Amino acid sequence: VDELHTYEQNMKYPWIAGVEAFLARLRELEIPFAVVTSSDDVKMGYLFAAHPDLRRMLSGLVTGSMVKRSKPDPEGYLTGAQLIGVPVEDCYVFEDSLQGLQAGMSSGATVIGLATTNPRSRLKGKAHKIIDDFAGFTVEDMLDVKRE
């Protein structure tokens, strides 16, 4: 665990293209959002040190230490929805991992796959929509995604 934390401390935490504008627009529209991650609190501390404004923007945060069952179980997303006070069926999950996509779909949320870690071909059929990043993707685009 110590080696992992040392590695994570030295990691770069770049923004996904377009995500800053997307998150700012969510805040502007007063749409609550939470980060739901399997990462521990130590890694999240490193992320927030790299992006201090992110912590202030969040309506909620669910880390791996806050759930009993990790992804692909939907518990994290169900907890996140409850934390921000939004029915999970009215939530949108943005996910890049296969386990996370499964968790999001199982939760009942609308799932948008991010082809940042896995290629689109691996995400096909595992999300309601797939995007490469947030560049040009608007909150209005998100709200237009329909569940199949």
Q: Are 95 and 109 in contact, with CB atoms under 8 Å apart?
A: no
- Once rounded to an integer, what is the mean pLDDT over residues 32-47? 93
Question: pLDDT confidence of 147, banded at 50, 70, 90?
Answer: low
Alpha-carbon separation of residue 70 from 13, 45, 48, 78, 115 (angstroms): 22, 20, 22, 12, 21
The CATH number of 2-143, from 3.30.930.10, 1.20.140.10, 3.40.50.1000, 3.40.50.720, is: 3.40.50.1000
Residues 13-26 have pLDDT tens digits of: 888 999 999 999 99
How high is the pLDDT of residue 141?
96
Q: 81, exposed or middle or buried, with CB in 10 Å at 0-12, 13-18, 19+?
A: buried
Q: What percent of the chain has pLDDT over 90?
A: 82
7 pLDDT above the threshold of 80 = no
pTM exceeds 0.95 for this model: no
Distance from C-alpha of 84 to C-alpha of 86, rounded to nearest angstrom: 6
Q: Are 117 and 101 in contact, with CB atoms under 8 Å apart?
A: no
Distance from C-alpha of 49 to C-alpha of 43, rounded to nearest angstrom: 10
- Once rounded to an integer, what is the mean pLDDT over residues 133-144? 96
